Amino acid sequence: MMYFDLREEVIQWSSEEIIVPYRSKLDGKKHRYFPDFVITVIDKNGKKKTYMVEVKPYKQTIEPKPQKRMTKKYLREVQTYVINKSKWEYAEEFCKDRGWEFTTITEKDLFGSAGINL
């Protein structure tokens, strides 16, 4: 978060202050999703742009590979993925309606070849 405070192009940011209502594909019920960040920046063309950002472990952003045994761990991974996918579909629509962009960031984005190298 200090990163946002120190960047000139970031004109506003908030953490878990926006509520995105969504219906879970897991239970069919309405829930509330609080994205990690909403960041407004001035882009390289001088235009204002807003991003909704979710930070997640990479493993939670990909569909689990089918297993022969239905272990508790595997079922939990499937459940997490289905819930995340439901949230993100609604977040995409929420952002589209406002002219924002939705994105997820993982450790691969932060520490991989395209990100920060420690």
For residue 51 the two structure tokens come to 């991003």
Q: What was the pLDDT predicted at 113?
A: 58
Question: Using an 8 Å Cβ cutoff, are 52 and 91 in contact?
Answer: yes
The span from the CA of 33 to the CA of 55, in Å, is: 13
The backbone region for 44, taken as left when phi is positive above 0, alpha when psi lies in -120 to 50, beta otherwise, is alpha
Query: Torsions phi, psi of 103, nearest 5?
Result: -150, 155
Q: Which domains does the chain have, with CATH numbers?
A: 2-111 (3.40.1350.10)
For residue 29 the two structure tokens come to 């019920």
Q: What was the pLDDT predicted at 116?
A: 46
Q: What was the pLDDT predicted at 1?
A: 83
Low-confidence ranges of the chain (pLDDT < 50): 116-118
Q: What was the pLDDT predicted at 114?
A: 52
Supply the pTM of this predicted model.
0.84
Residues of the chain above pLDDT 70, percent: 95
